[in-house]
Structure formats: C-alpha cells, structure tokens
Amino acid sequence: MKAVNNDVKALLRDSQALFQAAAALTGDKAEEMRSRAMLLLDTALTKAREAQADAVVAGKEMVGSAEDYMTENPWCTIAAAAGVGFFLGMALSRR
C-alpha cells in the first residue's frame, strides 16, 4: 500500500513539473508536454482507484473474519469487551 502511495506521489510530482514546463512553452511542444502530464495524472488516478478498491476488499475481509470469530467465540468476545470497558472506565475515572 505504501509503495502505491509513493508511486502516486511521484506521478503527481512529475505531472506538475511537466505542466510548469509547458506553461513556459508555446505551440506543439507545449501541447505535447500537456498531453504527457495529463497521461501521468490519469495513471496516478487509476493507481489511486486501484489502491482504494484493494483497501475496501481488505477491509471487508477483516470485517468478515471478525464476525466469524465473534460468532464462533461469543464468550471470549464478551470477556474482551468487558475488559476493554473496565480499563477505559478506570482510565477515565482517574481524570
């Protein structure tokens, strides 16, 4: 996930540099640089969407695993929730 984030940032930096360079140029060269920058931005957007879709799938799998565990081990789940509640109550009551 971090690699995708770094890739997207690099693509955005590159496209920004191309847009800045294209601002100083005119004619065909400027249009070519703008086109390359737009292609880089499209690539960054596609990678970001793919990363988001992967994160959603991973999140749904985690939720499914948690639900399965809670269904199979209800008393452990109740004990864990009670323990967390107890410690939170202790921490908040000391303030």
Query: Domain residue spans in the chain?
Result: 2-93
C-alpha count within 13 angstroms, C-beta hemisphere, residue 18: 19
Mean pLDDT of the region 17-37: 75
Residue 95 has pLDDT above 70, yes or no: no
Q: Where does the pLDDT of residue 15 fall: very low under 50, low under 70, confident under 90, or very high at 90 and above?
A: confident
CA dihedral sign, ordered 58, 59, 60, 61? positive
Residue 5 has pLDDT above 80, yes or no: no
* pLDDT at 30 (0 to 100): 73
Q: 64: buried, middle or exposed (CB in 10 Å: 19+, 13-18, 0-12)?
A: exposed
Q: Where does the pLDDT of residue 65 fall: very low under 50, low under 70, confident under 90, or very high at 90 and above?
A: very high
- CA–chain centroid gap for 50, Å, is 10
Amino acid of residue 3: A
Q: What DSSP designation does 94 have?
A: T
Mean pLDDT of the region 58-67: 93
pTM: 0.56
